[in-house]
């Protein structure tokens, strides 16, 4: 449905707010047995027939377009007051429809850590992906362990277009070993090492939550999906019993000034509006830090101090090298007719450069060297990294540097994947938690649901984060100085003589990997630590759960979309166990 005026009945069993990554999974699982009426309310547009979404190489074309919310951070103090773009999917499938498609389930200790932080052993290591053959059908022996993969509907595969970098990177990892050792399959429980990248791609096209979970079930008579419709508030329709209100009503609008329509849910409302939308909607509905709500004259339903706190993302830096190459992909970015030919090839038989995201076919997840921050490792455990490097066969325009008009390039993307810009200041020095909170925040800009919230990820707000990025830059230099790279690398695009120069460059040029999480995090029991309990129920009310990346109790040290799918699959089981006899 394209308008709320098309809804003929305003009463459902379940209402899912947001038809994004997690919301699409819930829509599917909750409507599966046909006995419950489910409504999905999506603010954004339809995902069908949008070329930048479907063709993997064209993915970045979706940023800053009509399928992107186009959020921007406030000026970042530790980045010379630069503002950082924060894209999010404004479309069915949500961010899974516009992301870079890298597929990491996380190490087993990411999941064990979720279980520890929520005091719920149910959050354990599990599998949800199905591996399909790469588009070029190449022999993948030694690049992936098929038995480590499950049978969920999202199609995942290795790259379908080999690049000259692939054998150099994997060969270097095998010869250098140590921190850079070769890892046959990063999705088999241990992420550490250098591997071939798996993507949420099947048969040369993006596999998103919309294509895998939502579109195939749109015919179900007990499911309604309405797009172009923004939820502006959730509330209780009758007085609280035992002081605990039951949230059962969703207010929806097309525009800031347009009429509000109310829909009720007899069983549950599930908030899956993503890391920015969910926290904003909670606060607009009176669930949030008391002082923040009172400042905006919003009646307090629940004083929930963690709403909008602990926002954290992975800082990203593009490291460029001038290389000897005839195949690096910037020729496609510079010349429209080459791009057209490659698109023609993709349309004809789903082969060629367009079948992969330009994100690179190989990546490494590394621990910091032991002497960088001795005895301090904020990651989830020994199989989770501090640093990621992604090797891209061309110039990735990620950050303020524009594509030079000539020359061939390699980009090595580096990221800090265990950032500490999320903690209390002293929490990692001793067990004495301090009140000095240094994590990122999301707060309201106004009470208008159509205004963007104020987003402050506080990138590089700790010494650990900036020094880890400097280490990552030096790790790249170490890796590419091995003999396998001789004759290929001409020179680094930017030369550094010391770590101070590296740190300044990182602060000046970093963006994020778009992995924001944590604004409504999960906490143990019923206490005020955390917005939701380990079953993802909002503390202090009945009838409302949150299922999306905002509930992660710690940022996973990997690309987080697969974590959202797994989270939503388990949430569906939890909800079904309460309501499905």
Catalytic residues: 515, 559
Q: Is 561 annotated as a binding residue?
A: yes
Closer of 196 and 493 to ligand FAD (Cβ):
196
Would you call 294 helix, strand, or coil by DSSP?
Answer: helix
- The alpha helices in 315-374, defined as continuous H runs, are 330-334, 336-349
Q: Characterize the bridge pairing of strands 302-303 and 287-288.
A: parallel
Looking from the CA of 202 toward its CB, the CA atoms found within 13 Å total 14
Q: Site size for ligand FAD, by CB under 6 A?
A: 41
272 binds ligand FAD (CB under 6 A): yes
Q: What angle do CA 12, 272, 82 make, to 5 degrees?
A: 150
Selected binder of ligand FAD within 277, 308, 378, 518 (CB under 6 A): 277
Q: Which of residues 38-57 bind ligand FAD (CB under 6 A)?
A: 41-44
Q: Give the interface segment with ligand FAD, choosing from 97-105, 108-116, 333-341, 519-527 (CB under 6 A).
A: 97-105
- Number of Cβ within 10 Å of residue 155's Cβ equals 21
Q: Which of residues 122-181 bind ligand FAD (CB under 6 A)?
A: none
308 binds ligand FAD (CB under 6 A): no
- Measured in degrees and rounded to the nearest 5, phi and psi for residue 41 equal -110, 115
Looking from the CA of 271 toward its CB, the CA atoms found within 13 Å total 36
Q: Is 91 annotated as a binding residue?
A: yes
Selected binder of ligand FAD within 87, 315, 440, 518 (CB under 6 A): 87
Q: Characterize the bridge pairing of strands 261-271 and 247-253.
A: antiparallel
17 binds ligand FAD (CB under 6 A): yes
114 binds ligand FAD (CB under 6 A): no
Q: Is 312 annotated as a binding residue?
A: no
95 binds ligand FAD (CB under 6 A): yes
270 binds ligand FAD (CB under 6 A): no
Closer of 132 and 424 to ligand FAD (Cβ):
132
Selected binder of ligand FAD within 110, 188, 273, 311 (CB under 6 A): 273
> Do 574 and 567 touch, CB atoms closer than 8 A?
no
Q: Which of 457, 443, 69, 106 is nearest to 291 (CA)?
A: 443
94 binds ligand FAD (CB under 6 A): yes
Selected binder of ligand FAD within 15, 22, 30, 39 (CB under 6 A): 22
From residue 528 to residue 557, what is the string marking binding to ligand FAD with x (rule CB under 6 A)? --------------------xx--------
Question: What does the DSSP 8-state code read for residue 292?
Answer: H
| Torsion angle defined by CA atoms of residues 7, 8, 9 and 10, in that order, rounded to the nearest 10 degrees | 40
Selected binder of ligand FAD within 514, 534, 554, 572 (CB under 6 A): 514
Q: Give the interface segment with ligand FAD, choosing from 91-99, 116-124, 125-133, 330-338 (CB under 6 A).
A: 91-99
Quote the CA–CA distance of 365 and 21 in Å, as a whole number: 25
89 binds ligand FAD (CB under 6 A): yes
Would you call 32 helix, strand, or coil by DSSP?
Answer: coil
Selected binder of ligand FAD within 28, 73, 76, 96 (CB under 6 A): 96
Q: What angle do CA 484, 359, 452 make, to 5 degrees?
A: 145
> Do 316 and 414 touch, CB atoms closer than 8 A?
yes
> Do 252 and 43 touch, CB atoms closer than 8 A?
no
Q: Is 560 annotated as a binding residue?
A: yes
DSSP H or E stretch at residue 268: strand 261-271
**Binding site feature residues for FAD:** 91, 231, 560-561
- For binding to ligand FAD (CB under 6 A), which residues are involved? 17-23, 41-44, 87-90, 94-96, 98-102, 104, 230-231, 272-275, 277, 281, 514-515, 548-549, 559-562, 564
């Amino acid at each position: 449905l394209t308008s709320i005026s098309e809804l003929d009945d305003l009463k459902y069993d379940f209402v899912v707010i947001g038809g994004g990554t997690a919301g699409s999974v819930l829509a599917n699982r909750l409507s599966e047995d046909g006995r419950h009426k489910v409504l999905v309310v999506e603010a954004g547009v339809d995902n069908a027939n949008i070329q930048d979404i479907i063709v993997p190489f064209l993915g970045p074309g979706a940023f800053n377009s009509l399928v992107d919310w186009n959020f921007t951070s406030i000026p970042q103090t530790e980045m010379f007051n630069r503002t950082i773009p924060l894209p999010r999917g404004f479309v069915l499938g949500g961010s899974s429809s516009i992301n870079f498609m890298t597929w990491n389930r996380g190490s087993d200790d990411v999941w064990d850590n979720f279980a520890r932080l929520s005091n719920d052993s149910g959050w354990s290591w599990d599998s949800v992906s199905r591996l399909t053959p790469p588009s070029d059908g190449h022999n993948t022996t030694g690049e992936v362990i098929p038995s480590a993969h499950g049978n969920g509907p999202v199609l995942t595969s290795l790259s379908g277009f080999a690049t000259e970098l692939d054998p150099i990177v994997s060969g270097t990892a095998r010869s250098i070993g140590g921190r850079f050792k070769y890892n046959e399959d990063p999705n088999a429980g241990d992420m550490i090492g250098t591997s071939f990248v798996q993507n949420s791609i099947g048969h040369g096209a993006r596999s998103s939550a919309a294509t895998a979970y939502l579109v195939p079930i749109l015919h179900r008579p007990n499911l309604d999906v309405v797009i172009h419709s923004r939820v502006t508030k959730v509330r209780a329709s009758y007085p609280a019993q035992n002081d605990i209100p039951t949230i059962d009503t969703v207010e929806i609008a097309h525009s800031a000034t347009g009429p509000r329509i109310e829909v009720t849910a007899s069983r549950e409302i599930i908030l899956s509006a993503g890391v920015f939308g969910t926290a904003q909607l909670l606060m607009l509905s009176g669930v949030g830090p008391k002082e923040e709500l009172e400042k905006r004259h919003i009646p307090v339903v629940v004083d929930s101090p963690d709403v909008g706190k602990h926002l954290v993302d992975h800082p990203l830096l593009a490291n460029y090298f001038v290389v000897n190459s005839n195949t690096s992909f910037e020729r496609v970015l510079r010349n429209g007719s080459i791009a057209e030919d490659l698109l023609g090839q993709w349309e004809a038989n789903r082969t060629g450069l367009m079948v992969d995201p330009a994100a690179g076919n190989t990546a490494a997840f590394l621990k910091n060297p032991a002497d960088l921050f001795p005895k301090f490792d904020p990651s989830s455990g020994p199989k989770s990294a501090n640093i990621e490097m992604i090797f891209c066969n061309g110039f990735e325009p990620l950050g303020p540097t524009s594509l030079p008009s000539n020359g061939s390039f390699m980009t090595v993307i580096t990221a800090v994947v265990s950032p500490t810009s999320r903690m209390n200041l002293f929490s990692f020095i001793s067990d004495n938690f301090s009140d000095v909170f240094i994590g990122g925040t999301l707060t309201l800009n106004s009470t208008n649901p159509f205004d963007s919230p104020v987003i402050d990820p506080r990138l590089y707000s700790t010494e650990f984060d900036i020094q880890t990025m400097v280490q990552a830059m030096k790790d790249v230099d170490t890796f590419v100085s091995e003999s396998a790279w001789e004759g290929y690398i001409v020179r680094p695009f930017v030369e550094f003589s010391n770590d101070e120069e590296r740190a300044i460059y990182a602060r000046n040029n970093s963006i994020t990997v778009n992995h924001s999480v944590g604004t409504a995090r999960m906490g143990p029991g019923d206490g005020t630590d955390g917005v939701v309990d380990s079953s993802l129920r909002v503390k202090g009310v009945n009838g409302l759960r949150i299922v999306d990346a905002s509930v992660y109790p710690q940022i996973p040290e990997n690309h987080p979309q697969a974590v959202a799918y797994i989270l939503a699959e388990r949430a569906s089981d939890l909800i079904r166990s309460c309501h499905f006899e």
